[in-house]
Amino acid sequence: MMQLTLIRHAKSDWEKEALNDIDRHLNARGYDNAYTLSEWYVNNQIKPDLIISSSATRALSTALIFARTLNYNITDLIIEPEIYESTSNIILSVINRQNNLKKSILLFGHNPSLTNFSNEICNNLFIDNIPTCGIISINFETDSWKNISPQNSSLNFHKFPKEY
């Protein structure tokens, strides 16, 4: 079985309008949510085999907070520029390329691609919008990332900041 956990970046700061979108960082609420949900994750879930993040500052910051909380070696974190401004097909392509020895993956990215991908890949899930720092975890009854599909998927759990 493979487990894919999708995490939308935490709330970003819009105060500096001159910043390029990719360079926006987290705001205070974003940091609070990332620390709260990473603590929940470390206390309730298994440590992932792999963490992948978009190259956008807000996604990478969220991923690094989770990595530190999980005591995950940040030098093993994969920064994947393709995830920024991606589509469901690009997200699937990134996942399909991963090593099958990595059974549990955390992937940090953006909307609308994460919401669209979740709805397309998970048979028993429909969600209007993954909120910032929202988590969707999906299990796949397969031993290969290349074979993940709606037919072998099931929702493992979801967790959103508003629950705290």
State the CB neighbour count (10 A cutoff) for residue 150.
15
CATH number at residue 97: 3.40.50.1240
pLDDT digits (tens, 9 = 90+) for 111-164: 999 999 999 999 888 999 999 999 999 999 999 999 999 999 999 999 999 887
User: What per-residue confidence (pLDDT) applies to 84?
Assistant: 97
Looking at the predicted structure, is the pLDDT value of residue 8 above 80? yes
Domain of residue 99: give its range: 2-163
Element (H, E) at 2: strand 2-8
pTM score = 0.96
Count: domains in the chain: 1
